Structure 1
Amino acid sequence: MHTREEKMEAYGRFLDILDELRVKCPWDKKQTNESLRPNTIEETYELCDALMRDDKKEICKELGDVLLHVAFYAKIGSETGDFDMKDVCDRLCEKLIYRHPHVFGEVKVETAGQVSDNWEQLKLKEKDGNKSVLSGVPAALPSLIKAYRMQDKARHVGFDWQEKEQVWDKVKEEFDELQVEIADMDKDKAEAEFGDLFFSIINAARLYGINPDNALERTNQKFLRRFNYLEEHTIKVGNNLKDMTLEEMDVIWNEAKKLGL
């Protein structure tokens, strides 16, 4: 791998290029925090997609795109006199040192779980940190990830099941309540109960060490592969999906399953 000097040289070259683009490129010159934000979200999701596929080449590329956005926001901050890239790095270093007293201080820990618990407690103690346990969960997070993060943060202060197996009673309770509202044809209440059921299932995944977002994306990708197989097979034989029965589709779907798709 590259030496520290080579890495610093590459990083400096990157910042020099960004400075030049900000001055000479019409598109880069006009960008603001507001105009960049949607692109930042898109780039982050593209990185997540590469990570899910474990595509090393794409991960490297997408990390560069995300880094560009981080540096761009710092560049804008320097132009307004609020902060620059040095301030960003300094604050990050200070936070990392403060939240790792087991590395840079005298605190003793033995497990990753203890590190995570200490991290959350230290966040609450910081002068400009979160004022409540759940205040650090971004409002803009996708609902599934937000539910997982809220549950995990609540866990750090002891708000959790004593035994993980207890969560299944809650899942069953929420499912039963949903069935009642569906039977009553009350759409508003059914929506609320669907939410409660999803929340309890996400909680169950957390308790069993499963990331629910990753689990759902695996199923999304599996469905995509099998449905594409179904569609491609149907086109090859000159048929149209709309003209097929569900039973006929199931035969091809099961073929895809047997092929490991």
Structure 2
Amino acid sequence: MSELAASGPVVPTTPHPKLEELIAVLEHLRAPGGCAWDRDQTHASLVQYLVEETYELVDAIEAGDDAELVEELGDVLYQVIFHSDIAAEEGRFTLEDVAAHMTVKMVGRHPHVFGDAVADTPDAVMARWDELKRVEKPGRESVLDGIPQGMPALALAAKLVGRAEKVGLAPVATDAVPASEAELGDELLATVVAARAAGLDAERALRDALRRLQSDIRGAENAAAG
């Protein structure tokens, strides 16, 4: 477990009775005599709901509606509590274990806050973050390790371009970049429209290109190692 340095341990100062109440509600629903549907769920059966709730949260963030944001954050939080309760019933881990692990992780990833390290800019923080991740996960042999392939294609593309740059690759860029995100969105939509008219699947095409990019990244890593 990471040590908390000069600032000392983080001591909670605010009670969270409503959070405790929500945990109790879930435990009651899944207890004997509770809800048959809730008791029947597994980690795997809940995946579809986690994905759906996550996208609904993204919609709420983009809409900027606080009432929707509260609701969708609650739905995602409930998924965390739900999965933790399933695991606790099986004797694997508890919600407290999840919280404790995250506390250690966040304290360890912020030595510039909880320790003596210096990181005065967002870029310096991210560089330190990446360095600490490499130390924490020594089993990762590639910059691609840990990237979920199920990410939306555009989000995955942005992630992979960053990883390509880390191994010295520079994927080909378009000659001109739109001046605003609105214009960029229009261009991306126009590309999808044209692809559809030509009988092409833009999502599949991008994922195919990303598989080739990942192959190039692994090739660059092997060349550097050899």
For the criterion TM > 0.5, the same-fold answer is yes
Determine helix, strand or coil for the equivalent of 1:138.
coil
1:54 pairs, out of 64, 67, 89, with 64
Q: Which residue of structure 2 aligns with residue 223 of structure 1?
A: none
Pairs within 5 Å for 1:5-16: 5=15, 8-16=16-24
2:89 to 76, 79, 90: 79
Q: RMSD value over aligned CA atoms?
A: 3.2
Shift of 1:61: 0.4
1:1-261 to 2 correspondences below 5 Å: 4-5=14-15, 8-23=16-31, 24-127=34-137, 130-155=140-165, 157=166, 159=168, 170-172=173-175
CA deviation after TM superposition for structure 1 residue 152, in Å: 2.6
Equivalent position SS for 1:72 = helix
Determine which structure has greater relative contact order: mean sequence separation of CA pairs < 8 Å that are 6+ residues apart, divided by chain length: 2
Q: Cα–Cα, structure 1 residues 73 and 130, in superposed 2: closer, same or farther, change >3 Å? A: farther
Given the two structures, how large is their TM-score scaled by the length of structure 1? 0.59
> Is the Cα–Cα contact under 8 Å of residues 124 and 133 in structure 1 kept in the other structure?
no
TM-superposed deviation, 1:132: 2.5
What is the identity, as a one-letter code, of the residue corresponding to 1:17? V
How far the C-alpha of 1:21 sits from its partner, in A, is: 0.4
- The whole-number CA distance in structure 2 between the counterparts of 1:170 and 1:102 is 35
How many residues in Structure 1 have an aligned counterpart in Structure 2? 175
Gap change, CA 1:22 and 1:121, over 3 Å in 2: same
* Contact 1:124–1:131 under 8 Å retained in 2: no
> 2:153, 2:206 within 8 Å by CA — same for their partners in 1?
no
Q: Deviations over 1:7-58 (max 9, x none)?
A: x211111111110001201111111111100011000000000111111110
Give the AA of the match of 2:119.
V
Structure 2 segments unaligned to the other structure (5+ residues) = 1-12, 176-194, 214-226
Matches of 1:89 and 1:42, distance apart in 2: 23
Letter in 1 for 2:56: E
| Percent of matched pairs sharing the same residue | 36
- Segments of structure 1 that go 5 or more residues without pairing to the other structure are 162-166, 173-181, 201-261
Any conservation in 2 of the 1:74–1:85 contact (CA below 8 Å)?
yes
Q: Displacement, 1:149?
A: 1.4
Q: 1:99, 1:122 within 8 Å by CA — same for their partners in 2?
A: yes
Q: TM-score, normalised by structure 2?
A: 0.68
Give how far 1:158 is off: 6.5
CA displacement, residues 138-167 of structure 1 (integer Å, 9 cap, x when unaligned): 121111111111223444x47466xxxxx8
Higher helix share: 1
- What's the CA shift for 1:4? 1.4
Distance 1:88 1:124 in 2: 21
